[in-house]
Chains A and B, each alone.
Chain A
Amino acid sequence: MLTAQTMTAKKPLDAALRRDLSFAVQEFNADYAETLDRGDIEAWPSYFTEDGIYRLIARDNADSSLPLSLMSCEGMGMLKDRAYAIAHTEMFAPRYVQHQISPARVTDFDGEIITAQANYVILETLVDEPTRLLQCGKYRDKFLMQGDRLLIKERNCIYDTVLVPTCIVYPP
């Protein structure tokens, strides 16, 4: 709950700093998308911190404060297990996926952690089928700044496309 006290306690980010941080997050998201879009799922965990959290949550569950995720990883072990399962144990038709990620909106920076969000759309193309919308949603992120490098400390993907078409193979 946002109260008058917390609103006055928090200073707005310096405009120039906010532009720099937004640009850094956008570059990060572009690299993240490129890795997934070329199907290099086993490189996906490298975008996270060792204790990184990843969740894919239907918007209706989020709105009702229901804790179930469609995918959830707590830490590098679960991230790598998810990547391994996709690369080596799951059976699915070959597909192209393509992320379109909106410009990032940085809402907070405490000197170490950047809080940001961005909208995403994922298009999916199966063999001999027209391209379709797989997901549209919002990333709600916390990035750890390590030197000039960002890593995901927490990424919550909240998707509006509640009625999932067949299944979601690659993490958004």
Chain B
Amino acid sequence: MTNTCRFNDAAEAHAAPDVSDLVWPNDPAEIPDWIYTDQRIYDLEQARIFQGRTWNYIALDCELPNPGDYIRSYIGATPIIVARDKDGKVHAFENRCAHRGAEFCKSYRGNTKQFICPYHQWTYDLSGALASVPFRRGVKGVGGMPADFKLEDHHLRSLNVTTRHGVVFASFRDDIESFEDYLGPDMLDQFDTVFDGRPLKLLGVHRNVMPGNWKLYQENLKDPYHATLLHTYLTTFGLFVAGNKTMIMTDPKGRHSTLCNARPQGRPENDQTKSEIRSFHAAMQLADPRVIQLIPEKDSPWTSNAITIWPNLILLRQTNILGARQIVPMGPNQFMLIWTTFGFADDDTAMEQHRLRQNNIFGPGGFIGIDDNEAIKFVQDGVMRSIPRHGVAPLGKDVEGPEVVITDRAIRSMYRHYREEMGL
């Protein structure tokens, strides 16, 4: 299902900012502070990454089950609308009136026959095509549109859309590989572990604004080193300890990754790595262990899969939690996170309640969601307020395999790809 993108290489139309004063360090383990703080880098990322040859997550099919359903969404920093037309086809187009530029759709979600910009009532259909404008011939033959005005020259700018297993992605570019080729076989296999094609059911959406650069969130999910050190809840209650069977793998280009973990049966009392973890509370049990109870439902050796899909999506399956986290950059120093939480349409009531209960772990009020949100703010505070320098991501070796998990390998591989895309 592919639309034709009506952006006509808009990305190339902007003059690239001069970033020749910014020099990437020679040591591949070093990451310069300016990628998190510089407005020119942010602008270049919008043009080269989010408006470049990338597939960006924009919605789940189950958010728009019926014709006329729509949601507000984003591609990069650009506000868009995702809508389902009368024939069931999903469209994505800019949330900006073709007339005076108004961001006209101000509802999180809804159902409509058409979109009307309230300023001058320019009216668009569910594909974003301009259907009518008021006073086209003026009043009493005076005023109105020029004689050569054509509705078809003023459609909303639409995006190239593709769907896999109920997940909707969009691109500014038509000259882009298929979503399947974009992911590559290993990541596609991981993607299909979370989305096996069964219809999904939307449970709800959280939104928060994070005081950090958007790339810090990608890094966070490519960083198995922090998982057992920062997230005391995981180690305290036995969801994830450093001795678990764990794997971090990347696609050949280094832009996507998956962190898989297999939780042990029972509690990890004999785990020898726990002496390294200052925060381990060996005696602690949950008063109500339903929150971390695993109800087997997938034919997978892993109990959690954290998948990063470049550039704006984190897919997370943890125990029985299923979620998509959409990254929306809002300038170099902050981003919005949209946490879309779902189950399967065929879940019974007990399973749905179980997923909802378990979602206490994630989100902007989650037992471990809070840790990451705070840690990212700490990093941004540090790089914004101290004397600029290079951070380091030195753990592990690039030649090591996916079973080596005390490593920064996936962060380094992301930045190798980033530098190529950005010309840095």
A residues bordering B, Cβ < 8 Å?
56, 58, 60-61, 64, 66-78, 80-82, 84-85, 88-93, 162-169
Contact = CB atoms under 8 A, between A and B. Distances in A.
A82 B336 CA distance: 25
Chain B interface mostly: mixed
B218 interface: no
A72 B202 contact: no
Interface string B356-369: 11011001110111
A91 B365 contact: no
Nearest to A169: B370
Contacts of B363: 70
Given A85-B367, A167-B369, A66 B288 contact: no
Interface string B300-341: 000000000000000000000000000000000000100001
B379 interface: no
A167 B362 CA distance: 11
Q: Secondary structure of the A side of the interface?
A: mixed
Contact of B356 (A56, A68, A77, A169): A68
B288 A75 contact: yes
Best-buried of A75, A88, A166, A168 by chain B (most CB within 10 Å): A166
A21 to B, nearest CB: 30
B231 to A, nearest CB: 8
Given A66-B202, A66-B205, A164-B208, 19 more contacts: A60-B108, A68-B206, A68-B341, A68-B356, A71-B360, A75-B288, A77-B286, A81-B291, A88-B236, A89-B233, A90-B233, A90-B368, A92-B374, A93-B374, A165-B209, A166-B374, A166-B377, A167-B370, A167-B374
Given A60-B108, A90-B367, A68 B205 contact: yes
Contacts of A165: 208-209
Given A60-B205, A75-B288, A91 B377 contact: no
B279 A89 contact: yes
Contacts of B206: 58, 68, 70, 164
Contacts, number: 125
In the A-B complex, the 8 residue pairs with the closest CB atoms:
A68-B204, A77-B288, A77-B287, A66-B204, A164-B208, A89-B232, A70-B365, A167-B373
Contacts of A75: 288
B207 A162 contact: yes
Nearest to A170: B365
A169 B7 CA distance: 42
B318 to A, nearest CB: 15
Contacts of A163: 207-209, 336
A115 B260 CA distance: 46
B364 A80 contact: no
Nearest to B375: A91
A166 B359 CA distance: 17
Contact of B204 (A67, A80, A91): A67
A21 B108 CA distance: 38
10 contacts: A61-B204, A66-B202, A69-B359, A77-B286, A78-B287, A85-B367, A89-B232, A91-B232, A162-B207, A165-B209
A11 B373 CA distance: 49
A166 B367 contact: no
A164 B207 contact: yes
A127 to B, nearest CB: 10
